[in-house]
Amino acid sequence: MKTVTTAALLYLCLCATVAVSDDSDTETALTAAPGDVALLPCYTAGNVTPSLTTWLKDGQEVVRGGDSSSAANPAAQRLTVLRDGSLNIMKVIRGDEGTYLCSSTLPGNNTFHARVLLQVASSPEIASMSIGPATALSNGTLIVYQGSTVFFNCSGSSYPSQRLIWGFYGASFANMSLIGTLGSWLDYRIEDIQPSAQGEYRCSAHNTVSHQTVDNSSQLLVYYAPDRHPECMWTPAQDPSHILFNCTWFGAYPTPTLLLGEDRGEQGARRNEHIYATEVTDSLSVTLNRSLLSDGQTVWCMGQHLTLAPGKEKSCSLTLKLPYPEGQPIATALEGTSITLTCSESVSMPPASTTWRRGLQQEYIVPGSKYVLSEEGPVLKLTILNISKDDEGVYFCRSENTLNVTELEVYLTVKTSSTYTGVIIGIFIAALIVGSTVIIAKTIYSNRHRICLGNSQSSTDAITNASNVT
């Protein structure tokens, strides 16, 4: 098509050249659109009626007429010579463009020449554009997804030639003309389209002859969703018998739909799910009654978005777990020293509130000169300073979450210096007993070759027996 346009241009240039070399009395340039009535003047200097007028187009006679003669050729009815010698073209068609020469014989036997350059130009009624693959909203706005390849095609039907331009008017980067060309259509492509390419795309068809321009434009929106999944979290509610399950998923355009629900495990072939809430939002929370929650139950949040195909939704979930504080249940300390009791809570979901308590009444332990409380990640430490016999007794590491309370019971024994010595002696004796057993076992083991008399199988038995003896 480009070639055709170029040819048309070239043709016009040639006409111009011919016209210049021609020797005529007047020169007129006219532009008409197809379908128009065009009147090409000949002698305009006075009110005279020429006896004969001949019109030539590009050197060929097209019509002649005057006072006495009328158009003989019915095919030439579209072209008629009026009384004053001017050429009337009833309905201009494409192809009528060219250089017209008239020769009029005026009274007094003078011959008059005139040259008329006729251009035929049709401006496009529409500039057609197609953008795709895209989804159209009811108001005509087009939707594409981030990362996709989008094709743009603009076309017009200007005659004889047009300049097509794709323009971009966006918020993110400067307005600009993307590309322009002469031709019947102009295509353009954006690979891996990004939100910055969101804006208005305008296709303009500019007729190079008539200088008329028509535009067509469309708003393009680029939708996107973040790669990361939503964030699920627990927040304590004001009412202690309830808890807030909060889900957030920021960074999607347009706003996603969040679903909050609960997985009640398999029930037959189907998963038994219960949906608490669905909303078009990027942050959603539900208040759950703790009486409805149980250990091992899973609550989830799913983010749905237009850019994610069904089955590719992003989600997060939390599985409820009872608190489970862990630590040594027995501790022994020497009077006058200090001791640190440790308790670790890393299982609880939602996170537990863990505290140290004292005695069967479970009194709160208030930090001060006697007690030092510290926390290192999931580990809670209680340091008791300057231990006395009064400190002996039961301590609780009490861990509570929405589901229930679990306690770790730690019994602290306080030894006076004398009983402590006794303990050490006791431990020494115990060690002696254990040590001698080891020695006996070792002796039997190292003498196993003497015990075993038969094959290797019985020797194994002998060793097994020997260890059982210990």
Ligand X SMILES: *[C@@H]1O[C@H](CO)[C@@H](O)[C@H](O)[C@H]1NC(C)=O
Q: Is residue 212 involved in binding ligand X (CB under 6 A)?
A: no
Stretch of 43-51, 265-273, 281-289, 392-400 lying at the interface with ligand X (CB under 6 A)? 281-289
In terms of Cα–Cα distance, which of 272, 260, 274, 265 is closest to 230?
A: 260
Burial of 87 (0-12, 13-18, 19+ CB in 10 A): buried
Site membership for ligand X, residue 207 (CB under 6 A)? no
* N-to-C CA span, the chain: 102
CB of 143 to ligand X, least distance (A): 9
Residue 291 contacts ligand X per CB under 6 A: yes
- Give the residue with the Cβ less far from ligand X, 98 or 256: 256
Residue 237 bridge partners (DSSP)? none
Report if residue 144 touches ligand X, rule: CB under 6 A: no
Q: Is 469 among the residues that bind ligand X (CB under 6 A)?
A: no
Tokens 């009337």 locate to 88
How near is the Cβ of 432 to ligand X at its closest, in Å? Answer: 36
Closer residue to ligand X (CB): 69 or 77: 69
Q: Which range in 90-98, 126-134, 313-321, 341-349 contacts ligand X by CB under 6 A?
A: 126-134
Q: Which residues of 185-196 are buried (b: 16+ CB within 10 A; e: fewer)?
A: bbebebeebeee
The residue whose two tokens read 């006058």 is: 336
Dihedral sign for Cα 376, 379, 380, 384, please.
negative
Shortest Cβ distance from residue 144 to ligand X (Å)?
A: 14
Shortest distance in whole angstroms from residue 141 CB to ligand X = 4
Question: Does residue number 196 form part of the binding site for ligand X (CB under 6 A)?
Answer: no
Q: Which of 80, 148, 153, 208 binds ligand X (CB under 6 A)?
A: 153
Name 311's Cβ contacts closer than 8 Å, sequence gap at least 6.
none
Residue 317 structure tokens: 């979930």
| Shortest Å distance, C-beta 173 to ligand X | 9
Does 187 bind ligand X (CB under 6 A)? Our answer is yes
- Contact status: 392 vs ligand X (CB under 6 A): no
Contacts to ligand X from residues 7-36, by CB under 6 A: none
Name the residue type at position 255: T
CA 149 distance to own-chain centroid: 14
- Residue 70, CA distances (Å) to 67, 79, 429 in order: 8, 11, 147
DSSP 43-110: --SSS---SEEEEEETTEEEEEE-SS-----GGGGGEEE-TTS-EEESS--TT--EEEEEEEEETTTE
Least distance from ligand X to the Cβ atom of residue 137, Å:
5
Q: Of 63-71, 282-290, 429-437, 455-463, which segment contacts ligand X by CB under 6 A?
A: 282-290
One of 80, 181, 216, 459 touching ligand X (CB under 6 A): 216
Using the rule CB under 6 A, which residue among 42, 62, 120, 129 binds ligand X? 129
415 forms beta bridges with 334
Indicate whether 255 belongs to the interface with ligand X (CB under 6 A). no
- Region near ligand X per CB under 6 A, out of 284-292, 313-321, 346-354, 458-466: 284-292
Applying CB under 6 A, the span of 11-19, 52-60, 240-248, 262-270 interacting with ligand X comes to 240-248
Number of residues in contact with ligand X, rule: CB under 6 A?
29
**Strand ranges inside 323-428, DSSP E:** 330-334, 339-344, 353-358, 363-364, 371-376, 379-384, 393-400, 405-415
Q: Is residue 157 close enough to count as binding ligand X by CB under 6 A? A: no
* Residue 192 contacts residue 103 (beta carbons within 8 Å): no
Alpha-carbon distance 190 to 172, whole Å? 16
**Judged by CB under 6 A, which of 44, 181, 246, 278 binds ligand X?**
246
Interface with ligand X (CB under 6 A), residue from 60, 109, 267, 418: 109
Backbone phi, psi, residue 343, to 5°: -145, 135
Q: Which residues bind ligand X (CB under 6 A)?
A: 109, 126-130, 137, 139, 141, 153, 155, 169, 174-175, 185, 187, 216, 219, 235, 244, 246, 248, 283, 285, 289, 291, 386, 388, 404
